[in-house]
Amino acid sequence: MTQFNASVYIKLKNGVNDPQGLAVISGLKQLGFEAIDSARVGKVIDIKLDAESEEQAKNDLTEMCEQLLANPVIEDFDISITNI
């Protein structure tokens, strides 16, 4: 078994309204960052796990996302894994 570090990025799907992102845009513009075009707020979940291989780790994390970490109605997820 090898231990892996993973970051799971949960993002709102394209087309799903993100009022938090809109508030961030408005705040940044008020600070003078006029060039900002879009901002979408998501979340990151850092997970440490044991697995036989990186592929196995990725499969496990995908299942975690599908069953709990992301809501498939509104959210997409990306997984990035680094070997410890």
Partner 1 sequence: MKVAIVVFPGTWSDDDCMYAMHQVGADPYKIWHTEKSLNNPDLVIIPGGFSYGDYLRCGAIARFSNVMKSVTSFSKSGGPVIGICNGFQILCEAGMLPGVLMQNDSLQFRCQDTYLKPNSNALSSPFLDKLDRDTPLKIPISHGSGNYFVDGKTLDILENQNRIAFRYSNEFGDIDQKYNPNGSINNIAGILNESGNVLGMMPHPERACDELLDSTDGNAIWNSIIEVVRHKE
Task: Enumerate binding residues for partner 1 (CB under 8 A).
Answer: 16-17, 19-20, 23, 68-69, 71, 73-74
Q: Which is nearer to partner 1, 59 or 71 (CB)?
A: 71
Rounded least distance, CB 47 to partner 1, Å: 13
SS (H, E, C) the chain: CEEEEEEEEEEECCCCCCHHHHHHHHHHHHCCCCCCCCCCCCEEEEEEEEECCHHHHHHHHHHHHHHHHCCCCCEEEEEEEEEC
Rounded least distance, CB 74 to partner 1, Å: 5
Rounded least distance, CB 38 to partner 1, Å: 17
